[in-house]
Structure formats: structure tokens, C-alpha cells
Amino acid sequence: MQSFFSMTRRVPDESETFRINWEPNPSGYLEWHDTKLAVTFPETAESREIEFRPGWLPDELSSLKSEAWLGRLTAETLADKYPNMTANQPMLIETYYMSQFNDGGALLLLYYTPENIIEEHWDEQGVDVMRFHATEILPANDRRPEQTLEQDIILMSNPDAGWVVRICGEAGMDTLLEVAKNLEIRETGRTLTYEDFENHYAFMDGGVG
């Protein structure tokens, strides 16, 4: 286990399970194991809710630029702007809250394996940052050969306000870093606590939808 500022990371045992509520499943929940990475945060009674909007986007994603303040932004509809994309997600930005992960909760990397994790502090935005490249190997089957999926993940954590922003995707680390460092963030005035969240695990694999 290694600790850096407001984020602590560990590789769970293969047998360790994580459960979320999932009503469509007959059991009412889903369980995962063989999780590749778990990131936890300090116990936080209250988190300040935030919204964001990109201050900079690459030309390929410029159509997503607007004056709207958001809690989530996905670029999957623009995957055709990037050749050789495997997971069809150039960029995904989502917000989380430390109070959500109290009492053993965590932000989980389920399928991708992280490589060369970098931990640093950005004074300009007052955030702790964890960033890395990650890969997932899909075994060959009757329809396709073995395939390697790749993405980059950036976690930005503000311990004073108790929020976390994840920026991930296939647009490349340099591009995602530029987006992250130019992200405009504001507080909504709402306070969130543990009881505001149904699930206390969230997944940082960069999916779509």
C-alpha cells in the first residue's frame, strides 16, 4: 500500500469481493473480484458538490464545448474522430465525493491493469493527482483475434472540499492532462454525506454511455 496526500491505493487480493446494489439482477446486487486497483480516501463527513466545464478541448472534441456546467461528460459519439480506437471512448469526465467512500468504500479499477502510476500535487488547482496508463487484454475468440485495450486515467482529488474528478479515455495522456489542467470547477452550494449515496464503490474503468 502506498499513500500520497488524499489518495491511498492498493491491489486487492484476487478473492476479495466488492458488492453494489443492482436491482435488475435477481439477487438485487452484483459482486466483483480480481479487481486490479482500489483507491480510497480520508473519512469525510461532508463533501461539497461541484460542477465542471472544460476550458480547453482538442479540435476533435471541440463540438462538446459549451457554457453548461456538468457533473459528467462523455465523448463516445466522437470516437470516429480517432483512428484505431478500441474501446470507443476518447474522453470521459465524472465527479465523485469522498463522503461516498466512507466506511470501507473505494474507487475500483475492475478490468484494466495500471502501469507506471504517477502521484503528484497541482498547486494551481489545489488538487492531489494520481494518473496512469492502463491496459486490458481480451483473449481471442471465434470472432476476433486477441485484442489489447488501452486508456489513460487521471484522478484529481481536493481533500478540503471532499470531491474527486476522474478524466479518462483513449485520446492520449497529453491531451487528457491538458483538459484536466484547464478544467473549470465550481461548487453548487449543496453538501453531500454518506447517506446520499446508494453505493459506496464506483468503477473507474473508462466505459461509454
Q: What are 133-163's pLDDT values in tens digits?
A: 999 998 888 888 888 889 999 999 999 999 9
CA distances from 77 to 67, 89, 137, 160, 180 (A): 19, 8, 24, 35, 20
Which residue type sits at 77? Answer: T
Of 56, 42, 51, the residue nearest 159 (C-alpha): 42
Of 10, 1, 5, the residue nearest 127 (C-alpha): 5
Burial per residue of 102-116, b for 16 or more beta-carbon CB atoms within 10 angstroms, e otherwise: beebbbbbbbbebee
7: number of Cβ within 10 Å = 22
pLDDT digits 0-9 by tens, 49-106: 999 999 999 999 999 999 999 999 999 999 999 988 888 899 999 999 999 999 999 9
Q: Describe the strand order of the beta sheet including 106-109 as a list of residue ranges.
A: 2-4, 7-10, 37-40, 106-109, 201-203
Which cell is 69 given? 456546467
pTM of the model: 0.92
How big is the CA angle at 108 (ends 186 and 32), to the nearest 5 degrees?
140
* Bridge-based pairing state of the strands 201-203 and 106-109: parallel
pLDDT confidence tier of residue 18, bands split at 50, 70 and 90: confident
Reply yes or no on whether the pLDDT at 175 is more than 80: yes
pLDDT confidence tier of residue 4, bands split at 50, 70 and 90: low
